[in-house]
Structure formats: structure tokens, C-alpha cells
Structure 1
């Protein structure tokens, strides 16, 4: 399915969200969380009410530093360090266990294999458009088979505030030296991807393939139900 809600103006850049847009991120995150949990639960001091304690640590870390909300990597690292300190580890041991637990998560987080069909789609699109990625997530693109696909990868936190804030789109336009309206952003979330692109003056594609309730009431320029519908953008 492809539905045009507005006619597109000329586009020179295709910007992609990553998680749940170019691959199914749900099993990947589940595996990464399990890897972190396995490390933490092997610690004698780790409480039996693991999930409740972890959520408390996340909340307290955010209370100490509100800027963590825009950087999921720093937030997880800060929550782990808070937990290790709260459990009574020495400063050195707290740092060691926090780093090890995060590394367990990060290693599993990048165990991604984008399908050949999607890679072929991106190759075809790259013949006609500049390709970039704009993500709120912390996946390390260089560690799996999207490595080298994008001219630019911008992540919330290191490169600016998280979508739907316009910061990452502004950075992309500035770096690529193109007007915002020449960037067409493709993503699965109305609240972050479509709202962020629309607010920044970019154009947007909503990949509507998940049963999720969103707050944003605005329209994407294009709505699709399958990423392969982007083949319609290949210039004949």
C-alpha cells in the first residue's frame, strides 16, 4: 500500500529511521535486555525484584540529569552506574560492573542482519538520492550490514536532541548543504519520525506497519505499509 497525502516537492536526500523501519528491532532489543539482565543477575548483590529495581535506577538517574532523556546510551550507562553505587560497590567496582553490563547489552544490540531485499532497495535508491540515517536509538551501524550504506548517520544524544525535536534534521540539512524541504524522512513512528520531519520543514513517509497508538495527529506526505513500496521513488 502507498498513499500520497500531499504531492512531494523535489527531493535529493532520503533520511531513514533505523529501528523497526529497516529491520524488526523487537527481538534484538529483547536479546540485548536479556544479555544485560544475565550479567546483573549473576551479581550476588543484585535484588530479586530485578525489573522494579532497574526502573527505579533509570528514574533516579534521570532525576540527577534531565539531559539523559535525549541520549538512550548515556541514560542506560548512568542508570547502571547508579545501581552499582546504590548496591554498595566501591567506586572502582561500580565502574567495572556498569561498563561490563552495558557492554553485554551493546554487543547483543548490534546483532542485526538486514535482509538482502532491503539492502537491494537501498542500493537502488542510492543511485538517485543521497542516503542518510537519523535515529533516536543507540545501534552501532558500523557493526552490522548497514555499514557503509549511509553518507551520514545522526543519533540522538551525541548529535542533538531526540526526534521529534528538529535538531537532527537541522544538522542533516546543514551538513549536506541542502534545504530542509529536499529531505524526505522515512520512519515507523508518527510521534517521532513524522512529527519531527514535519516540524523541521522536511517531507515525511510513515511506515504504518505496527499496531501502535500515537498522539500526533498530523499527516505524513506519504503513507506506506511495507518498506519495499519505496521502490516507487526510484526514478525511471
Structure 2
């Protein structure tokens, strides 16, 4: 991304997890809430599967079911169904169990600058969420600033596949060269978007481990979304 290319930008697509909020603590809180619910509603499952074991069951399903591995919601549903079934509880409880998890998964703590930066970015550009995860931007406080969202679950393929980036461009009625994608993952976000013809900024927050990867040479990077708004020339306040 060069200063000369900034005038070409007509919209921004944004990754969600680890771009707008840290995902690990959110998932852990949701897993604790899920296990507390299971302790009351499905005690045999709660006894047989602690938080770590439920996570391992989720990973097992993702590995054994490549047909649904891109769909984090379906993977979580299926892993809960199997855990309930194997423990002797009613597997039909998996739907309610997932809703407990999913509600808690949206109790997010944004990175400090994000709310103000998103407001600034949205004042100039249409924003679209583009995520391989199952977060629903409409269920967050940032929802009003976004024009739309595309998830790997809904679309059928995830980043770095060029098709999901091109679908975002199609929905924005723009060409890839007119869209900027921002995310934290080198492979999924930055290289995927670049290969699809979009402009990119790689979000490398303070504290990120150095990456010894020749593919990262020369990439445009920002340390936070406030810096991104500054680089795009959007005034604060």
C-alpha cells in the first residue's frame, strides 16, 4: 500500500478476531459459561468433559470432518452433540448449549482504540466484516458502523480463498483494486487479499512476535486501527 494508492480506495474490509478484539480471552470466557451451564443441565457431560476436553472434542471434529471445518458454528454444534451423546445426556441439548456459548462469545473487550477508529473509518468508507470465525458483527457495539458481513460459514469457503474477497467486492459494487483489506493474519488476510487483487494493511499490534518470513517483506503494516485512520488521512474528532 503506497500513498499514491490511497485515493483508489473506496471501501474497507476488516477481519474481526484478533483485529478488533482479542479472541482467546473471549473464547475462554464462553467456554467457562458453557461448562457452568452443562454442570446444571447436563451434569454427566460436565463431569466427563472439562473445558480442555470440550475444546479437544471440537478440534477432533474439525479434523475428522473437513466438510464442515470452515464452519466454526457447525463444528462446535457437532462436538457438543457428540460429548452429550458419549456421556449419556440428551444430545438434543447441543443447540441450547451452543446458544449459551455463542452469547458469551460476544461479550467482547475491544482493543482500546477500536471504537473511535472504526467511527473514523466509517465516516469516509463503507466497512464490511470479512471473517473465517463465527462472530456476528451485528451482535456487537460496532455493528451500526458496518454495511455488511461475510463469514466463511455463510459463504462456504474462507480466507485466503480469493472467492470470499471477490464476493466482498461484489457486494460493495467495487473492483478489488478499489478495496482495502485489513487483518492480523499474514496468510489468511494479507497474502490472501493481495492475491485476490485488493490493497492491504497488515495489523501488527505491539507485542506481536517477530516473524521471520520472506513473504512479509515490504508489506504495509500498522500497529493499530488508529494508525490506519491516520495513514488514510482521516481527521480525529
TM range (shorter): 0.7 to 0.9
Q: Which runs of 5+ in 1 are unaligned?
A: none
Compute the displacement of 1:137 (Å).
1.6
Distance in 2, Cα, partners of 1:127 & 1:52: 42
Distance in 2, Cα, partners of 1:106 & 1:131: 24
Pairing 1:83-232 to 2, within 5 Å after superposition: 83-89=83-89, 93-96=90-93, 98-112=94-108, 114=110, 117-209=113-205, 210-212=207-209, 217-219=214-216, 221-230=219-228, 231-232=230-231
Conservation of the 8 A alpha-carbon contact between 2:162 and 2:195: yes
Aligned pair in 2 of structure 1 residues 193, 215: CA closer, same or farther (>3 Å)?
Answer: farther
- Residue 205 of structure 1 aligns to a residue in which SS? strand
Q: Which moved more, 1:51-60 or 1:153-162?
A: 51-60
Distance in 2, Cα, partners of 1:58 & 1:114: 25
Distance in 1, Cα, partners of 2:30 & 2:52: 18
- Residue 9 of structure 2 aligns to a residue in which SS? coil
Aligned pair in 2 of structure 1 residues 222, 7: CA closer, same or farther (>3 Å)?
Answer: farther
Distance in 2, Cα, partners of 1:65 & 1:207: 31
Q: Which runs of 5+ in 2 are unaligned?
A: none
Question: 1:66 aligns to what?
Answer: 66
Pairing 1:20-31 to 2, within 5 Å after superposition: 20-31=18-29
Q: Report 1 or 2 for greater relative contact order, CA contacts < 8 Å, sequence distance ≥ 6.
A: 1
Compute the displacement of 1:214 (Å).
6.2
Question: 2:44 aligns to what?
Answer: 45
Question: 1:233 aligns to what?
Answer: 232
Q: How many residues align?
A: 229
TM-score by length of structure 1 reads 0.83
Conservation of the 8 A alpha-carbon contact between 1:190 and 1:216: no
Question: 2:75 aligns to what?
Answer: 75
Distance in 2, Cα, partners of 1:116 & 1:57: 33
Distance in 2, Cα, partners of 1:20 & 1:116: 13
Distance in 1, Cα, partners of 2:32 & 2:137: 21
- Residue 35 of structure 1 aligns to a residue in which SS? helix
Q: Which structure carries more helix by proportion?
A: 2
Conservation of the 8 A alpha-carbon contact between 1:71 and 1:156: yes
- Residue 70 of structure 1 aligns to a residue in which SS? coil
Compute the displacement of 1:151 (Å).
0.8
CA RMSD of aligned residues (A): 2.7
Conservation of the 8 A alpha-carbon contact between 1:124 and 1:234: no
